[in-house]
Amino acid sequence: MYNQNTKSFDFDEKKALEAILFIAEKVSDKYKVLKILYLAEKLCLEKYGVLICGDRYARLPYGVTPSNSLDLLEKLQKEENSELALNQNNISLKRKFDEKYLSKIDIECLEQSIEENKDLTFEELKRKTHDDDPTFNASNTEHFISIEHLVLGTKKPNEILKNLETIYE
């Protein structure tokens, strides 16, 4: 849900986990999973005015990264009975994603992002989420990226910002 006061979405950890599991069924590299999630969220924001899990995005050396999802993966890596195992940067699933937590819109955007990005190299993904990404370059002095800067990386930023202001008042 979008919070007008803070101009941000609330992070849904359960949806983030299910989205990560969904992506990791097709792509096992941790870096790719996080980049695909970021690009899916941006796509969902552009097409439907919502985010899949409402993550908070950080400007990191290799591009924009979903910060809460990265923290979640690191936490799960330390847990013995986790839903996934992380060996260096390779994610192994211990269960499939639970479809009751992801909407049709979520799955559509995740699938599109997977299809568009799964075969990109590390350097290509870095360039897409760093050098060529207006979101990354719009807020070059801040570690965390505001929703306004996230929207700048879409094709219709003014329309999306206006919708966020009216839909969630």
Give pLDDT tens digits along the chain (169 positions).
Answer: 555 455 567 889 999 999 999 999 999 999 999 999 999 999 998 898 888 998 988 888 888 889 999 999 989 888 877 888 888 889 999 999 999 999 999 999 999 999 999 999 999 998 888 766 666 666 555 678 777 778 877 888 888 887 777 655 5
Domain boundaries, the chain: 10-167
**Which DSSP letter does residue 127 get?**
I
- pTM value is 0.87
Burial of residue 54 (number of CB atoms within 10 Å: 0-12, 13-18, 19+): buried
Q: The dihedral of CA 79, 82, 84, 85: what is its sign?
A: positive
Q: Which 3 state secondary structure label does DSSP give 57?
A: strand
- The position carrying tokens 């992506």 is 23
Q: Which 3 state secondary structure label does DSSP give 60?
A: strand
**Which DSSP letter does residue 59 get?**
E
Which amino acid is located at 26 in the chain? K
CA separation for the pair 58, 108 (Å, rounded)? 24
